[in-house]
């Protein structure tokens, strides 16, 4: 599969009770995306 993530500008909305922002960022960065915003939301 072509790396469609390469060069994309990525906004990451992680969740504390799900996959958190830094974990998603590590994956997208490794795939060549440009992370412009990452956050881990918390719903209580």
Kindly state the smallest distance separating residue 35's Cβ from other proteins, in Å: 9
Kindly state the smallest distance separating residue 44's Cβ from other proteins, in Å: 12
Binding region for other proteins (CB under 8 A): 1-15, 17-21, 23-24, 26-28, 30-31, 33, 36-37, 39-41, 43
In this structure, how many other beta carbons lie within 10 angstroms of the beta carbon of residue 33?
Answer: 19
Closest CA to 40 of 9, 5, 4, 16: 16
Kindly state the smallest distance separating residue 1's Cβ from other proteins, in Å: 5
SS3 38: strand
């Amino acid at each position: 599969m072509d790396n469609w993530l390469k060069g994309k500008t990525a906004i990451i909305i992680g969740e504390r009770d799900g996959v958190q922002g830094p974990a998603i960022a590590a994956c997208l960065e490794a795939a060549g995306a440009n992370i412009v915003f990452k956050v881990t939301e918390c719903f209580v």
